[in-house]
Each structure stands twice: as C-alpha cells, then as structure tokens.
Amino acid sequence: MNTNEQNKVLSQDNLKLTSAKSAFDYILNLYQQQPKNFDNSYIGIGTGSTANFFIDLISKNDDFKRIFKAAICSSNVSEQRLVANNFPIISLTDFHENSPKIFIPFYIDGADEINENLQMIKGGGGALTKEKIVATMSQKFLCLADETKLVNKLGKFPLAVEVLPSAKYLVIQKLNELNELNELNELKNIKIIKITERKNFITDSNNLILDLHFANTFDNQQAMILEQTINNIVGVVENGLFTQHSKAADVLFLATQNGIKNISKE
C-alpha cells in the first residue's frame, strides 16, 4: 500500500470514528434529558468496521453499562468484540414467550450504501438477516456512515441475499427469471447481470450468501418492490435492502470532510 492509499484509509477511518462519536453523544444527551425513557433497555449493535468504532467507544464508557442492561448483537463477531471489552451481551435466543417485552431504543449500524431517504443496502459482511431482525425490533435505527456511502440511488454495491443451502439452485434460477418478468412491471430496466456465491462463507445461521450485481441503479419505489420480490422467492431467508419504515434508518450520522451531517426522518 502506497502513502496515498494509507492516507485515504486513515481518513476514512477517522470519518467512521467521527460518525460513531456523534451517535454516542446523541444517545448520552437523550439519556441525560430523560433517563426514565431508558429503564430496562438494551442496545442493538450491528456488524462491520464502523460498528466496531462504536463498540470500542461504549466499552470504555461506564455510563453505557449503567444505561443499558446488555447489548443485543447482529453477529457473533460483534458479540465477541463486546465480550473482549467487558460489555454485557445477551442473545435473542435467551428470551422466550414468557419474557418481558424486549425494549431496544436504538440499533447502531453502518451501511454499504444509503440514500437521503435513508434506504440502504447492507450485508457486505454477510450478517444482513440478523441485522434486519434487531433493526426491526428497535425503536430507532441510527446509521453511522462516512460520506463515501451516500448515494443518489442504490444499486452500485452488490446486493447480498441469504439463501438456504438446499435452495441455492432454485433461487438462482428464480433470480435469473426476474430479468424476464421485470419487463412487465415496476422493475422494468432493473437488470441482474451477475450472481456470485461467496466461496467458503457461511452465515451465523449456517446459510449461503449470493451477491447480485445490477446493470443499473434503482429509485426508492423500485428498491421497496425489489426487496419484497426477492424475499418472496422460496428459499430466500432475507436480502440486504433496508427500505421499509421499520427497517430503514431513522437517523443518519454522515461524517464528511466538513464535519457531521445529520439526516433524519423526524
């Protein structure tokens, strides 16, 4: 790696850290204003390099250990990082039908792509299904990103699809058929040009990841339709489009060279 490449990596890491600090301060400020709103709460933690910066911040702060009973993570990797930093964790599988309602005021995670409507493509790390579960259970999804992740339209980044191993060939067949069906509906001109399987990669739920590469980007409405269309294929567990209100981000902490830009649904 040459010096210019090193500076670019360091600059992006600094932006990610800035974004993580902004979300960190946002939560602390809300707690200081209304601590009662945090009673018996858990914090949802995502997966990836940006989420790791947030994990390291909260692990060094005793306030977060007092505010939240434990962290609920979207991947084993995040759990391991929190455990290594002595932050309490709990798994969703530890809860049962007689458990009190789980209160997760915030889910913190990054994005591979995000637009100004706070729709995202996630799943570059392969944890998309658990990310979507915890995000949907949370009151607010706080997205941490650097300026390179903001796009006008989604679709340049490959779309991850988690698939049952026994359904791989069926799913690939049905995905290829979408190109023909799309000529007749709202997804017209959205073309999948390549489907690749991640080799030697298994999700935390023991499934496969297929990455869909598109010829073009898609608008907000097409993203919503595409998310549901792919999920309707038998054998698909989930895909990495986060477009619906319950799963798209609520607040984006976007770190730029000129400081933090907050984009919110509020």
Catalytic residues: 131
CA atoms within 13 A on the CB side of 11: 12
Find all residues with CB under 8 Å of 196, minimum gap 6, and list them. 158, 210, 211, 213
Nearest-10 Cα torsion for 147, 151, 156, 158: 70
Strand ranges of the sheet holding 159-163, from the earlier edge strand across to the other edge:
192-197, 208-214, 159-163, 236-239
CA distance 25 to 35: 14
The amino acid sitting at 149 is K
Residue 123 carries which DSSP code?
-
Given a contact cutoff of 8 angstroms between Cβ atoms, the answer to whether 141 and 27 are in contact is no
| Beta strand spans in the chain (E) | 41-45, 68-73, 104-109, 113-114, 120-121, 138-146, 159-163, 192-197, 208-214, 236-239, 241-242, 251-256, 259-264
Q: Which residue type is seen at 79? A: E
Q: What are phi and psi of 95, to 5 degrees?
A: -95, 155
3-state secondary structure 184-232: HCCCCCCCEEEEEECCCCCCCCCCEEEEEEECCCECHHHHHHHHHHHHC
